[in-house]
Amino acid sequence: MCRWLAYHGPEIRLSTLLHDPEHSLLVQSKHATQSSWVVNGDGVGIGWYTDDPDPGQYRETRAAWNDENVKSLARHTRSGLFLAHVRAVTQGIVSRTNTHPFLMGNWLFQHNGDVGGFKVMQRAIDARLADPWFGDREGQTDSESLFALALTHGLREDPVAGITGMINTILELRDEANVDDPFMMSIAATGGDSLWCARFAVGAAAPSLYWGSGLNLCNCDGSTTQLDQHARLIVSEPLDTEEFAWHEVPEQSLIRVDDEGVCVQPLEL
């Protein structure tokens, strides 16, 4: 399984989260602790927003720990809303177009998990996709198809409807195709304003997911970084060992992060 993080808050250097903490995303790329896939070396990607309405995007197929460009980019880029992802392949080959986060229009999306039986359902999923999202996919992953399906269900206008519509469609197609393999996901999506995440699974445990606000992060060099009280993080794994500072997201949950805070609620499917 992949590992990812999503940040919403005052502008910070990306390296504050990607590189500095004792269990940063770059550390998780080679030593994840809450996944059956310890190594996530099949690519690294970042998507970030600044004062331009279109987000920046960096994706590379090299392992994050072996990519000097992502380290330099993270040190010299500041943003108040960004996603980052390290990949372990479950569906689709190792390629830049299959590396998260994905970009369609001005929306970013990333996924950890697996759509079991994806090959069996792929043609039926494609038939449910509306234009332009059907043609905007660049890769072959189940993850990018989930993104296109959520956009088809109105992710941009109504993120709750987009995410729940995507999940319900997959559940419906699983039944039609008699798929028993697990469907597991933790996702993050944003259009540059609010951040929307979800944790869901059927047939297995959902991928781990946590949130934190105003954290005082322990860094790998022994120092600490106090984040602003309005800084909010959603992560596959905590970035440090301060276990009481992190809140586990319940399974089958939807998360909204905006200037008002973090709202976690049950998914109503």
- Amino acid present at 105: G
Q: How far apart are CA 229 and CA 103, in angstroms?
A: 29
Q: How far apart are CA 261 and CA 259, in angstroms?
A: 6
Phi, psi of 21 (to 5 degrees): -60, 155
Q: Which residues contact 107 (CB under 8 A, 6 or more apart)?
A: 147, 151, 155, 156, 189, 190, 191
Q: Which residues contact 243 (CB under 8 A, 6 or more apart)?
A: none
Residue entry with tokens 């008699």: 178
Output the six-digit token pair for 180.
Answer: 């028993």
Q: Are 211 and 236 in contact (CB under 8 A)?
A: no
Residue entry with tokens 């069996």: 120
220 is catalytic: no
Q: Answer whether the bond into residue 101 is a cis peptide, omega within 30°.
A: yes
Q: One of 2, 197, 218, 263 is an active-site residue; which one? A: 2
Strand locations in 14-151 (E): 44-49, 56-60, 78-86, 102-104, 107-115
Q: Which residues are catalytic?
A: 2
